[in-house]
């Protein structure tokens, strides 16, 4: 099973795989729901393997630990999913 930070590195560094529109959903602990965010609104500091910054629709920014990422889509197709308490699974 591919960890989420490895999948995000592949999107960034593999030119063929990285083509397309990516979105990810993370678990929001305050609203108790999944927040879906386009990858272009995510900032990952180089070498960071713990968390990233996500910008919401209203412009607010949140630090999100990688372990709260639940799903990743490429061109609308679910390509990666993690259920609470289970490692990531690549499709």
Residues with Cβ within 8 Å of residue 83, at least 6 apart in sequence? 70
Tell me the residue range of the domain where 82 lies: 4-90
Q: Which residue, among 4, 7, 5, has the nearest Cα to 17 in the 3D structure?
A: 7
Residue 39 · residue 49 · CB < 8 Å: no
Average pLDDT per consecutive 10 residues, the chain (91 residues; last block may be shorter): 87 92 93 92 86 90 93 97 65 50
The CATH number for 35's domain is 2.30.30
User: Rg of the chain's alpha carbons, rounded to an integer?
Assistant: 12
Question: What is the domain count for the chain?
Answer: 1
pLDDT at 45: 86
Is pTM beyond 0.75? Reply is: yes
Residue 51 · residue 39 · CB < 8 Å: no
């Amino acid at each position: 099973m591919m960890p989420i930070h490895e999948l995000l590195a592949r999107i960034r560094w593999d030119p063929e795989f990285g083509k397309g529109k990516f979105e990810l959903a993370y678990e929001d602990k305050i609203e108790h729901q999944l927040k879906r965010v386009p990858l272009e609104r995510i900032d990952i500091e180089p070498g960071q393997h713990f968390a990233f910054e996500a910008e919401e629709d209203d412009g607010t920014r949140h630090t999100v630990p990688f372990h709260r990422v639940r799903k990743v889509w490429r061109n609308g197709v679910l390509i990666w999913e993690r259920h609470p308490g289970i490692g990531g699974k690549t499709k």
